[in-house]
A and B are shown apart, each in its own frame.
Chain A
Amino acid sequence: MKFKSLIYCFLLLFPLAVSAQKQLSMRQAIKQVEQQSHVSFVYSSDLPLPATYQGRDLTGLSLKESLSALFGASSIGYKVQGQHVLLFAHTAPSKSSAPSRLIRHTLSGYVQDKSGETLINATVRDISTGAATITNAQGFFSLTLPEGTHTLRASYVGYVDEEIHLTLKSDKNITFSLRADSLLPEIAVVGDLNSPLATPQTGKYSLSARDINTSFSLLSSPDVVKTLQRMSGVNTGVELMSGMYVHGGDGDENLFMIDGTPLYQINHAVGLFSAFNTDMIKNIDFYKGGFPARYTGRLSSVIDARTSDGDFQHFHGSYRIGMLDGSLHLEGPIVKGRTSYNFGIRRTWMDLISTPILWAINARNSKEDDDVMLSYFFHDLNLKLTHIFNDRSRMSFSLYSGMDRFKGEITSEDSYNDTHYKETNENSLKWGNLNMALQYQHQISPKLFGQFALIYTHNTSNIISKDQEYNWSDRINDKDSYYMYRKYHSYIDDFGYRAHFDWRPSPQHHLRFGQDFTFHAFHPQTSRFDLHTSGSYAADTVHNRTANRLKAAEFSAYIEDDIRLNEMWSGNAGVNLSLFHVPHRTFFSADPRLSIRFQPWRKLAFKASFTGMTQYVMKISNSFIDLPTDYWVPITHRLNPKRSWQTTVGTYYRPNRRWMLSLEGYYKRSSHILQYASWNGIAPPADKWDRLVMDGSGRFYGMELDAAYTTSKLRIEGSYTLSWNERFYPDFYKEWYADKFDNRHKVNLLLHWDTGRGVSLYADWSYHSGNRITVPTQWIMQPELPQTTTAEIYTASIPVYERPYNYKMPDYHRLDIGMDFRHTTKRGHQRIWNISLYNAYCHLNSMFVSIDTDEKFKVRNHAYIPIIPSISYTIKF
């Protein structure tokens, strides 16, 4: 009976089920395909979709079969693009119109957020035709489309997509205003043209403010350079020194730019902090491989940092107090919707405490005790003013000032009967940058965008030492005095202009061309020495002044084209021509840039690039750490500019929306890389440095594997670098040798988890093979020189250094952990407590190894950096 009932039920329900399937609505059918093929459909809401789907059962069909079944017989066309299926209406050719030329118009404008902040590298896509483009560094886009109805979608990581429907009958200007949503998955922008799969450049990373302001910050200050150090292919040098050695290059081979102006001093506190205030950063494009032609001047990497314009609608800001520093950030409109400001300042505050404490201690000291005053601070100040004249023109002024200052003073005072003695010794170090840029952006035509800028950069480094000594007696009207003043000063002034044009003649081409000019005035090692003595000292007055001035003019012009042949092939081809004039010689170089992308499958892309780079200015240093005595100089007529040629190939694979995998290999050859030939001095004399350097070559090669898994709340990244960094200086060593930072293996694992309950966690484990040091190998007999040689036997010994960097220091590894506790107050302000642990398991990594051969061979490992906890408190309003 039960069996019969089941049969009846089946017979009754089967037709119903079949009929239900047959009567599946078209939207339901699309949903089914989305679920089973892991794609999303993109179409205009006015697309005439049939109400129902009456085709074959879609279950188990491939995407191609499903699409054919869905739209094969309809008037709706489709196109698979990445993980998107674009739907559009087949427009029947008008009987009246000639079937010849398609009328096209240009749609141009800006993509910005609700506050008016322009968004860099945002994707603008025409849903109807699939044509797409990305915004430039000013947030501008231009897209040429056929006349007719279009649905434009603008998308950007962390923002809700915005769609605009419009009928294009002529050139049109529009502005997209996207709404930020921090809960969106970070890879929500499918079909992102700035993604590694879509951009033709190899070795490019784009970092937004949220990539930098993670939940971890060393000593409570988020850091740009330390974020970049996590990237594959970037070696870090000595711990905490903010070194960046990209693909084996030197520290001075990285082009740091802030709003288009070069930055010479990128660190504070001898590298503990980098010189970027992350509150101000909007976007950073970091290139280590396929450099576009618009960048020149350094061999190894480009870091193009852009600051935010500020909110055009509402006033708001934030303040943060951390372990060593605090920051204040304010932004808002000056004229609502027209003029904005963005102001940020960061300053260490330890000196504000140490100065009164030391003053109090000194006040309590007896007169015989020395009075000691020590203070150190650094500050960063950023200001950006932006004015929008109209929807085609805007102007901005940006200012950056960064300064470190250390001051130490010891005063000794004593009296005996009626005689008195006082001695003061004062030392101060001061170094930093001042950058200014006045930029004017103008949309010259719907397809042509121009940006013009005047720039000024000032970099300075001062070391001052002052000694004063007095002896006097109450009885005798005489005073012994001694005064000595020494100042060592190096500074640079750069003046220049930039003219950049962005021309998008067709959806297939995006041309950039422009021209830069910079006048460099280098003043290395300006020194002053004054000495006055009187009384019982031999009366003497000495004034000694030395100054060096090195001038250079740098001119460069470039043209590059982002070519998009079809969905499979795209590329970037360009050339950068540069002239560099110094007294007695003008250098010329033509650097080709070529990147090609081949995407045979929507999830997989192959890329290759070949780039040449030239560098005319360099930092002279005799140490692996960043010191105030280092100075920059231009190449001179006796030398040749640094050159490099780099080939990079890569495979990029995105198996699904959450995973991104890439594998890149590179080979770089550098020539004329200079090295100070004489190591008996912290820096060579600036008036003849070019005769005291060695010309050498470098070969750097390796492979980099990057993997990322991202969901709306979880981000896991891993990278592995296998690299060889080798150099050859014939005057130094007769063979190729492994470089100081030839770190064979580098691994980085990062986890960022937003628990969704106001707490986010961050963990980063980094590992690399140890740096290399030079260790002597033998004791041998000491020589005797001409005219001292006798028949005596003298067997004292000296060490022999046979091969540079012949010993690898212990491997480096550490774990950083950070947590953000977020809370929104009743007033709507966001309160953030951050707790961070640098080197969480307290592995004392080797900073340097000292070698003593005075008597017995002794090697000492210097490892000092323990676990460093820090805490900060931030209020955003």
Chain B
Amino acid sequence: MTLRYISFLLLLLTAASCKDDIDIKDFVQPAKLTIYAMPGTEDTTYIRISAGIPITDGNSSKEIPLISDAQVTYTVDDKPQHVDNLGRGLYRVVCRKEPGSRISIQASHPDYPTATAHTQIPEAVPVKILNTAQVSIYDDNSATMLSYDQIQASFKDTPGRHDYYAVQVIAQYFKGSAAVYKDREQAYFNNYSSFNTYSRKDYDSIRVVITDTLTQIVPINTAHEPALGTMTDIDDFFGYGNYFAWNFNIFDDALFDGQEHTLRLNVRNGLYSIPFSPLSYQYQVVLYRLSPEFFRYVHAINLQDNNDLSSMGLAQINMSESNIENGYGILGAWNSHASDMFRPAFIPSILFTKNYEER
């Protein structure tokens, strides 16, 4: 009897394994228009109109169909504005807008349902840089401590209201040299670091020449800024990141509603990020106020990009956001304020002065 049972077991063991096929071909979604328009207080607003491709048909580099013959209506505070059709799905509106202006857009095309959206230009929030400091942060990739410039920028949030922001740090780099003369000896320096190390303040004369400037948005290490989401090595281990698409570092006021908040934005100083060794550099912080739907739109993209576990189907993935009715994309309103350029205290001010000479 026992033999019979074991034979039965062996028979089962020989059963061939089978695995189910996944066939995602039934996602035939109705075609819709994709609209992008990001009006601020600037006069010119570009509108891009295109159409989607079914997910199974395209890929990330396949050209998206551009809709150049859409009927576009654009209103500011219910007043229709002239829309220029620039071709290839690009449209332009030039008009005055102010904080509080209500923007509406409608795009019609015979092949697609009419898409509409509304938004409102928010108030800008003043921001100023209080200080910069040098900090060290442990870097997993290089297993070393890296030095950063920490820019401390402050602004006041409006109480009792859910506000949405984005912040960018702009660095302006100066290319040039400083020639120092002392007792008929001459020394040249092309970056502030060597200048600080070797120069003597009792020089007889100095000549600073700035030959070029470079301005760029620099990536922010969010290790010291909770509003931007601090990541731990555990998060990194499970495939989570804190990458902000387009260096557009968005956040909301959930952690500091109604309070004065100082952002601690760590950036790698210029010696590492540009093709030349800068003589000096300075920083500017741009603080954006975003309409809620604009924030949610960018936030959703960030969350999708930063979650390996969800792409493995083991964690929830965020839905794409849009305020375009019957369509995709975003009509996202924004306003911004840029701080004054701030020069780090450790860079002598003369290194910022074009063609400076002192005898």
Contacts and interface: CB of A to CB of B under 8 A. Distances in A.
B50 A691 contact: no
A540 B143 CA distance: 13
B186 interface: no
Contact of B313 (A773, A784, A785): A773
Given A780-B34, A800-B320, A679 B334 contact: no
A796 interface: yes
A810 B21 CA distance: 8
Given A781-B48, A797-B53, A681 B303 contact: no
A488 interface: yes
B312 interface: yes
A493 to B, nearest CB: 22
Interface stretch (B228-236, B259-267, B341-349): B228-236
B313 A851 contact: yes
Contacts of B145: 531, 533, 538, 540, 542
Nearest to A529: B138
B27 A777 contact: yes
B94 interface: no
B307 to A, nearest CB: 5
Contacts of A866: 17
Contacts of A683: 234
Contacts of B53: 778-780, 797
Contacts of B334: 786
Interface stretch (B58-66, B173-181, B193-201): B58-66
A859 B24 CA distance: 8
A629 interface: yes
B136 interface: yes
Q: Of A484, A795, A846, A867, which is in contact with the most chain B CB atoms at under 10 Å from its CB? A: A795
Contact of B60 (A542, A800, A848, A856): A856
Interface stretch (A32-40, A510-518, A618-626, A645-653): A618-626
Interface stretch (B82-90, B99-107, B125-133, B203-211): B82-90
Nearest to B23: A859
Nearest to A482: B143
Interface in A724-774: 732-733, 740, 755, 757, 759, 761, 773-774
Contact of B21 (A802, A856, A861): A861
Contact of B2 (A682, A759, A775, A856): A759
B60 A624 contact: no
Given A679-B307, A793-B66, A780 B27 contact: no
B191 interface: no
Contacts of A869: 9, 13
Q: Is the interface of A mostly helix, strand, loop or mixed?
A: loop
Given A542-B138, A692-B254, A780-B34, A682 B61 contact: no
Contacts of B309: 622-623, 682
B229 A840 contact: no
A627 B240 CA distance: 15
B235 A681 contact: yes
A785 B232 contact: no
B36 A784 contact: yes
A360 interface: no
A682 B238 contact: yes
B241 A691 contact: no
Nearest to A621: B315
A842 B18 contact: yes
B115 interface: no
Interface string B248-260: 1000001100000
B240 A795 contact: no
A600 interface: no
A786 B291 CA distance: 12
Contacts of A773: 313
B114 interface: no
A601 interface: no
Contacts of A795: 50, 63-64, 66
A639 B225 CA distance: 24
Contact of B329 (A688, A777, A780, A811): A780
Nearest to B239: A682
Contact of B320 (A688, A802, A835): A802
Interface in B65-115: 66, 86, 88-90, 92
A678 B53 CA distance: 28
A775 B17 CA distance: 27
Given A810-B20, A852-B311, A775 B12 contact: no
Contacts of A680: 229, 231, 235, 240-242, 302-303, 306-307
A681 B62 contact: no
B124 interface: no
A679 B310 contact: yes
Contacts of A531: 138, 145
A524 to B, nearest CB: 12
Contacts of B318: 679, 732, 801
B237 to A, nearest CB: 8
B22 A793 contact: no
A850 interface: yes
Contact of A688 (B144, B226, B301): B226
Interface string B287-325: 010000000011011111011011111111111100000
A46 interface: no
Nearest to B20: A810
B55 interface: yes
Nearest to A681: B235
Contacts of B143: 467, 482, 484
Contacts of A528: none
A8 B145 CA distance: 119
Contacts of B61: 796-797, 855
Nearest to B36: A783
B234 A682 contact: yes
Q: Of B1, B288, B301, B316, which is in contact with the most chain A CB atoms at under 10 Å from its CB? A: B316
A622 B302 CA distance: 16
A670 to B, nearest CB: 17
A538 B136 CA distance: 12
Interface string B181-193: 0000000000000
Interface string A833-876: 00101001111111011111111110111110011010000000
A547 to B, nearest CB: 14
B336 interface: yes
A143 B56 CA distance: 70
B107 to A, nearest CB: 14
B60 A779 contact: yes
A132 to B, nearest CB: 43
A797 B17 contact: no
A863 B15 CA distance: 17
B232 A488 contact: yes
A238 B311 CA distance: 15
18 contacts: A680-B229, A680-B241, A680-B306, A681-B240, A682-B235, A759-B2, A774-B316, A775-B27, A778-B328, A779-B55, A786-B334, A819-B5, A835-B6, A837-B13, A843-B17, A850-B312, A856-B59, A866-B17
Interface of A: 238, 463, 465, 467, 482, 484, 486, 488, 527, 529, 531, 533, 537-538, 540, 542, 622-625, 627, 629, 675, 678-683, 685, 688, 691-692, 732-733, 740, 755, 757, 759, 761, 773-781, 783-791, 793, 795-804, 806-807, 809-811, 817, 819, 821, 835, 837, 840-846, 848-857, 859-863, 866-867, 869
Ranked nearest first, the 10 interchain pairs of A and B with the lowest CB-CB distance are: A810-B20, A848-B313, A778-B52, A842-B17, A844-B19, A856-B59, A680-B306, A779-B58, A781-B50, A861-B22
Given A527-B232, A778-B32, A811-B20, 11 more contacts: A542-B145, A623-B309, A678-B229, A679-B315, A680-B229, A680-B302, A779-B64, A785-B246, A819-B9, A842-B16, A856-B59
Interface of B: 1-2, 5-6, 9, 12-13, 15-22, 24, 27, 29, 32, 34, 36, 38, 40, 46, 48, 50, 52-64, 66, 86, 88-90, 92, 136, 138, 143-145, 226, 229-235, 237-238, 240-242, 246, 248, 254-255, 286, 288, 297-298, 300-304, 306-307, 309-320, 328-330, 334, 336
